Structure 1
């Protein structure tokens, strides 16, 4: 799926998503997160894998909403909006430099890097302990434990979500963005809810960093 998406969007999926989102919002079209919200008027899909789920999704829409939902490919919508509304200028996040200071080992030095199950078994308890510390407000200790979990090969969305929440609480937006970037890099599927949520969180962290500067 990742290779297919990279080919379709020439490795610039974020650009197409950002421009489409901006074109929609600036022209009064609300973007809804819930797939089956009563006010939804259309679905947008990123890759051709959606076709395999199309019939089931439409069946659920009929059951939940009493109607079918028009569905469009992101590329087609992007082209239509550009033709209708013209060019759009988005804020370049590439210009926002981050300088995270941390004790995380490089990815290549992580244990069990290619053995997900062993990494899960050896790292999960450290993440669980770290998340308890995070919830108790012991953020520095929580991050130390997340680092240990990561070092042992624990690679799960929950780890990176916990990392991000701890750094957000500390207002350490550089590290928040850095761990989110790593999570996206390590995620197998580019077209899923986890990736979308991570990217939205990254946008917020970058905005907060800009505001503080």
Structure 2
């Protein structure tokens, strides 16, 4: 059964996710805790999730943490962190959530489970039609449906800057900047490592967008 994680988040936070993020960030910062931009920073001590993520995605994150940092990183749900901080510290004024490290929530399968991962032609044939349809849905304003179709295209092995560019534009329209950054990072890593013909303009657009989001 497919879960609608955005509905889950809306229910958990009663439509006030920004409030919980802002108050958590403010309380942590006020009490001397540094909010890091990278979840694999050497000094990272914990990850905060805004909702339940797939276990396989979490395991992949931990594998990368072991590889890059040599240790596992504890992870906590934002609502639990918020409650703990409210019990321990007084009320503080809410501030910007721009710096708060939140792992993006999505329905994408882990990278290692993508079909036709090492067969570009089969991936193109199996995934490209879903990207085409998804792009039409995006242009029509059906953003959630577009993401679902892009996920299928990606799962089937479609690997092109156009797919990731469409992903990024859709997440941007949804103001889901965490997922926009995550999908751009995957695109840059994947497209740089695979020997395929890519649209250099689209590739450079992704790099420039990541730089803007990182500031």
TM-score (norm 1): 0.50
The one of 149, 156, 161 aligned to 1:152: 156
How many Å separate the matches in 2 of 1:194 and 1:137?
22
Q: Which residue of 1 aligns with 2:205?
A: 197
Residues 104-156 of structure 1: per-residue CA shift (max 9 Å, x gap): 00110000000000000010000000000000000000000000000000000
Contact persistence 1:126–1:145 (CA under 8 A): yes
Give the CA deviation at 1:193: 4.3
After superposition, the Cα gap between the structure-2 partners of 1:141 and 1:99, relative to the gap in structure 1 and judged at 3 Å, is same
- The residue aligned with 1:166 is 170
Distance (whole Å) between structure 2 residues aligned to residue 193 and residue 93 of structure 1: 27
Larger radius of gyration between Structure 1 and Structure 2: 1
Alpha-carbon shift at residue 196 of structure 1 (Å):
2.9
**In structure 1, distance between residues paired with 2:169 and 2:144:** 12
**Structure with greater proportional helix content:** 1
RMSD: 2.1
Separation of aligned partners in 2, 1:194 and 1:149? 18
Q: TM-score, normalised by structure 2?
A: 0.50
2:192 corresponds in structure 1 to 188
**How far apart are residue 188 of structure 1 and its match?**
3.1
C-alpha distance in structure 2 between counterparts of 1:197 and 1:93, whole Å:
21
Q: Structure 2: give runs of 5+ residues left out of the alignment.
A: 1-35, 42-98, 195-199
Q: Would you say the 8 A contact 1:122–1:154 is kept in 2?
A: yes
Q: Does residue 110 of the first structure (1) align with residue 118 of the second (2)?
A: no
Q: CA deviation at 1:195?
A: 3.8
Number of aligned pairs? 115
- Equivalent-residue separation in structure 2 for 1:188 and 1:99 (angstroms): 23
Question: Following the alignment from structure 2 to structure 1, what is the Cα–Cα distance between the partners of residues 103 and 117?
Answer: 25
